[in-house]
Structure formats: structure tokens, C-alpha cells
A = this chain, B = another copy of it.
Amino acid sequence: MISVVILGNGNVATHLYNAFSKASAIAVIQLNSRNPKNITNTDVTIIAVSDDAIQQVSQSISNRKGLLVHTSGAVDINAIVTERKGVFYPLQSFTKNAKIDFNNIPFCLETSNSDDYHLLEKLAKSIAKNSYQINSEQRKKLHIAAVFVNNFTNHLYKIANDICIKNNVPFEILYPLIEETAKKVQSISPEDAQTGPAKRNDVQTIKNQLENLNLQQQKIYQLLTKSIQEN
């Protein structure tokens, strides 16, 4: 049995709490991060608060025994001030009220000593299929890569949606293509999967398509076309 305290009441904290509650080998409680001083010690304390607050919360509970970890993709392990520290980062985009199946979410793990790594790995495996040993430097880069495949990709979907709305075409026609594009990179590399007017250098189509976009969309179209062609 691993005993766990989760500090925080945001999306990640709540989703983690719900998942651990269903895992038989985990005893978990969730607490507001402001007043956790009087709680008994646990094997692991998970600080699931906003990036900016991690260091401060860690300082306020520096007398706690056990392993202290945060859940952020962007914050260094050393934001935790205690000796036994770690990172327990589920690489996914969490939305309030959306159901989360942790089983398919990869956990990026880091600890300051190797015994604690095994503890953290056991904790991750109690709710998820895959975990990876990722140090703070790698995690920072992974977080940047995630911005490209999640935040920026979603913005391209938004531009496509804008084009559909403007031209009275249902956006849902694009759902299967969006899904297929996302799935394809699991079997062939994105480099080999690249198709389209930019890749073929289809000058006439590129010219025609640019004429149908607004200024902001044109800039994005041109820059991404150039980047595809230079790769």
C-alpha cells in the first residue's frame, strides 16, 4: 500500500485523486494546498498546484517526511526544496469536466535518488500503462514539443473552422481527416507522412489558396509552406 497526499484543487489534482481512489494499492487524500501542516506523513506528497506556486508550497511543507513531487511539465525538480524530491508529470492536456483515462497517459518521472524512482514508478503504474524516466532538461524540451502538437495544432484547427464557418461548410467533414492525420504519425514518421501543395511545390494551387485567406492566415500559410519546402 502506498499512502499519498495530493495538495491542490485544480484539474490535475482532482483527476489524479479520482484515479488513485480506484487503485486498490493506493490510499489517497486530497487537500487544499494552504493548510496541510497538520496532516500525518505519507509515502508520497503530490504538489499539484500552478507552476508559480510549486516552490512556495514546497517550502511551507518542508518538514514533511516522505517523497515530495510536483506535476508540472515546465518546472525544474529543484523547485522542491526537500531532500527527497521528484516530478510526476502526466503528459496530457486536462480540461475541466472532461473524463480522463489515465491508463493511456504517459507519465514522465524524475527523482533525486533511485530508490524513490521505483516508488514513483509503482505509483504511476497503479493508474497508467506507460511511464518514462525523463530528466528536467528533457522534460522542458518535451513541453515545447507538446506546445507544437497540442496548442499550435489546435490553432490550425481553429483556422480551418473559421474557413468552414465563413464558407458555410460543416467543420465536421474534416473530423476523419484530422483523426487520420493524428493516427498516421504512429505508423510512419511525420517527415514521410508529409503531403500537400507545399510538399509537391504546386505553385498554382498555393497561389490560388493564398488568395482566399485573410492576412493573418496568409502569413501562417506562407511560413509553414516555406518551412515544409526547406525541410
Task: Encode contact with B along A119-150: 1 for CB under 8 Å, 0 otherwise.
Answer: 00000000000101010011011111111111
Please measure, in the bound complex, the distance between the C-alpha atom of A106 and the C-alpha atom of B93, giving whole angstroms.
28
Chain A: how many interface residues by the 8 Å CB criterion? 87
A65 to chain B, nearest CB (A): 31
A170 to chain B, nearest CB (A): 7
A179 contacts chain B at the CB level, 8 A cutoff: yes
Quick check: B145 and A228 within 8 Å, CB to CB?
no
Quick check: B223 and A190 within 8 Å, CB to CB?
no
Quick check: A190 and B158 within 8 Å, CB to CB?
yes
Point out the residues of chain B lying under 8 angstroms from A149, CB to CB.
156-157, 160, 174, 177-178, 181
A177 to chain B, nearest CB (A): 5
Point out the residues of chain B lying under 8 angstroms from A56, CB to CB.
none
A115 contacts chain B at the CB level, 8 A cutoff: no
Quick check: B174 and A145 within 8 Å, CB to CB?
yes
Point out the residues of chain B lying under 8 angstroms from A169, CB to CB.
134, 138, 141-142, 145
Quick check: B182 and A164 within 8 Å, CB to CB?
no
Chain B residue with the shortest CB-CB distance to A222:
B223
The interface-forming segment of A15-23, A28-36, A194-202 is A194-202
Known contacts A91-B176, A167-B138, A199 near B151 by CB under 8 Å = yes
A210 to chain B, nearest CB (A): 9
A27 contacts chain B at the CB level, 8 A cutoff: no
Known contacts A151-B199, A152-B156, A219 near B223 by CB under 8 Å = yes
A38 contacts chain B at the CB level, 8 A cutoff: no
Point out the residues of chain B lying under 8 angstroms from A156, CB to CB.
148-149, 152-153, 156
A53 contacts chain B at the CB level, 8 A cutoff: no
Quick check: A216 and B230 within 8 Å, CB to CB?
yes
Which one of B145, B173, B177, B193 contacts A163 once the chains associate, using CB atoms below 8 Å? Answer: B145
Please measure, in the bound complex, the distance between the C-alpha atom of A152 and the C-alpha atom of B206, giving whole angstroms.
13
A81 contacts chain B at the CB level, 8 A cutoff: no
Chain B residue with the shortest CB-CB distance to A183:
B179
Point out the residues of chain B lying under 8 angstroms from A134, CB to CB.
169, 173
A107 to chain B, nearest CB (A): 10
